[in-house]
Amino acid sequence: MEKIEKRKLRKKRIRRKVFGETIRPRFSVFRSNKYIYAQLIDDDKGVTLVSESDLEFKSSSLSSLSKKELAYKVGESLAKKALKKKIKKVVFDRGGYKYHGRVKALAEGARKGGLEF
């Protein structure tokens, strides 16, 4: 089985257990080779409440940072946006990715920013 297929199976297994609500939205992570994206999703209504990616940081002075450091900044920035919308508690959905590297840095940044999961 290929790497991508294994990740998709893990993602399905995780999504059976993880569900976002209005009170506690799902913190979804997508990681490509270049960028990392994060969203807070209300699965009841099927809407994205808050989103953030490192695309915004690539054009700024932070472009010299490593991918891991950028992921941390994305997590902090997402948490600030969420707190403005009065979202404090979330359910973490790592999207089938292993919890290390950029995914872990994103989660730690969000925790430092004030999100609880």
* Strand pairing category for 26-31 and 36-42: antiparallel
CB 108 within 8 A of CB 99: no
Residue 18 has a pLDDT of 83
Residue 24 has a pLDDT of 92
CATH code of the domain containing 80: 3.30.420.100
Domain of residue 90 covers 3-113
Residue 56 has a pLDDT of 81
| Predicted confidence pLDDT, tens digits, the chain (117 residues) | 798 899 889 888 888 888 887 789 999 999 999 999 999 999 989 999 999 999 887 777 777 889 999 999 999 999 999 999 999 999 999 988 999 999 999 999 999 999 998
Residue 64 has a pLDDT of 81
Residue 78 has a pLDDT of 96
For residues 54 and 67, give the distance between their C-alpha atoms in angstroms, rounded to a whole number.
9
3-state secondary structure the chain: CCHHHHHHHHHHHHHHHCCCCCCCCEEEEEECCCCEEEEEEECCCCEEEEEEECHHHHCCHHHHCCHHHHHHHHHHHHHHHHHHCCCCECEEECCCCCCCCHHHHHHHHHHHHCCEC
